[in-house]
Amino acid sequence: MILSSSASSSSLVSVSVSAASGVCTPLTPIKETSHYHPPPDNDNNDPLLWSKSKRKRMRQKEKKLLKNIDSSSFRSANYLSNSYHSAPQGVECIHAQVGRSVGNHNVGVEQTQNPPTWVHVFKSPNPSSTRTQGASIAHIAHTETKHPKAIHQINRRAKKKLRKQQECLVQVNVPNSIKQQLLSEMDLEKDIVVVDGGDVGNPPIQPPDGVTWHCLSVRGSDLYVQDVTDPSLGLTFTRIGGDCLPFIRMPRGQSLDITGQTGMGDIISALEECEKLKSTSLKRSDNKRVFGDYGTHVQYTSAGVQVDRNSREVLPCNAFMKKLPEWHWKIIMKLMRRAERAFESIVDHQVLSHMHHAMKLVPFKTMSMPSDPTPLKYYGALAFGCNVFLRCHTDDDFTMSMIQVHLKGKDRYDVNDDIVVYFCFPTLGCAVPLRPGDFLIFNALIPHCVSSRCRQEDDIMITSAYLKTSVVGMNNNKLPVTSEQSSLADKYRNSINN
């Protein structure tokens, strides 16, 4: 059953949440069109055109807002919050009970010096592993040595990002009936768990010959599905252990603004050209197996930096990618850079700080094209496949990963496009609906998988941007660690042993 708010068919209303009171207040109605565009700027919103007295008033207003968030215990940029929207307009709950709304709680602030839980770290004392250990906490150690004024600025940026998340993200609340039947990580290791995302009437997925799996369905009561149709709102989940948000589905308006700047046909053509150059599918371990339609060839491809298993190198790109025409390279890199800007705009401040200081400590490689050595800021590679779905698994990634969905044969995506696939978190009990062009950022250490597509007649391309921890370690145990890397690695080991 699908429940939706009784919004007018001619407009969608965005909602803002006050960090101090948690009260929802409507903002300016957004006219519903085939493609979302943010309202144009005006002079009153341009700080460069403000008078001196107005700038002073705005600074005083900002200070007052910052005080509304409990700053007494806000010592570092690490915090938690459960304060998001409460039943905004444009919310749909699939499989939800009547009257159920998104939780609304007071803002909490918490200091933590523990290693981040969204980062995979190698535990070995070898030099490559030591580099990953030091890089994982470089941002924490850097904060400890900062001047109080610098720490104040860090906290200020973190609070601004927190308020932004509260204004544009709706929290998914899983019902107790589903929480009581969650799969454990042991269940996922023991069985091959996949998710059938098919609509009613779509043929059920079938395992390959000789394979037995445990199949969950988004149509039943296995996973909770919540959606928002307002293009100015996204989805998230409550923080786990006071750490960063487990996942963020970006507001669809932002996703379409990013994707719309590159033609859909060009993106699909570039990815298909990569698939043609790679004659064989990417081999993944059994616990990360990739599936497709029964009886069809499964093609899954990765492009970007990769660890060379036959040497002590991290290769700048796959060998087959050197044959990719430059204009296809430019399309892929353009899409990746815009995705990274979206990443910067919505993820927790501590996630960005973690990557910034990790790269200062360890000069690891990120994705770049052969003709332009300017690398990406965060991601090392892009994996993709057509009409594929994966076994529920975790990945050895060093930062939050990011996926996007594309639909073949559609030149432009609209805000009211149908859902084409789900990104699932069985241990959290929820599945996130995705439409063409949607971006989803997630913690790859939480068991996850992409479902089968909703309709068999659709051809969808799933792309995943990521940074492997093995790349950060630089794949060279003959390369000595620096004194700073060794010192931070010692702090890391002490923190996990205490």
Number of structural domains found in the chain: 1
**d(Cα 45, Cα 189) in Å, to the nearest integer?**
53
The structure tokens listed for 238 are 């409550």
Domain span at residue 353 reads 1-498
Q: What are the phi and psi torsion angles at 265 (to 5°)?
A: -60, -35
pTM of the full structure: 0.79
**d(Cα 45, Cα 120) in Å, to the nearest integer?**
42
What would you report as the CA-atom Rg of the chain, rounded to the nearest whole angstrom?
A: 23
User: What string of pLDDT tens digits covers the 498 residues of the chain?
Assistant: 333 433 333 333 333 333 333 333 333 333 333 334 444 444 454 444 556 676 667 666 655 554 544 333 322 333 333 334 333 344 455 543 322 233 333 333 334 567 899 999 999 999 999 999 999 999 988 776 667 877 788 888 889 899 999 999 999 999 999 999 999 999 999 999 999 999 999 999 999 999 999 999 998 889 999 999 999 999 999 998 767 899 999 999 999 987 775 678 889 999 999 988 876 655 556 678 899 999 898 888 999 999 988 888 999 888 888 899 999 999 999 889 988 988 999 999 999 999 999 999 999 999 999 888 899 999 999 999 999 999 999 999 999 999 999 999 888 899 999 999 999 999 999 999 999 999 999 999 999 999 999 999 999 999 999 999 999 999 999 999 999 999 999 999 998 887
Q: Can you spell out the DSSP letters for 164-211?
A: HHHHHEEEE---HHHHTTPPPHHHHHHS-EEEE-PPTTSPPP-PPTT-
**d(Cα 274, Cα 66) in Å, to the nearest integer?**
48
Residue pLDDT, tens place only, 132-178: 999 999 998 877 666 787 778 888 888 989 999 999 999 999 999 99
Pairing between β-strand 169-172 and β-strand 91-94 as defined by DSSP bridges: unpaired
**d(Cα 73, Cα 482) in Å, to the nearest integer?**
34
The structure tokens listed for 291 are 């599936």
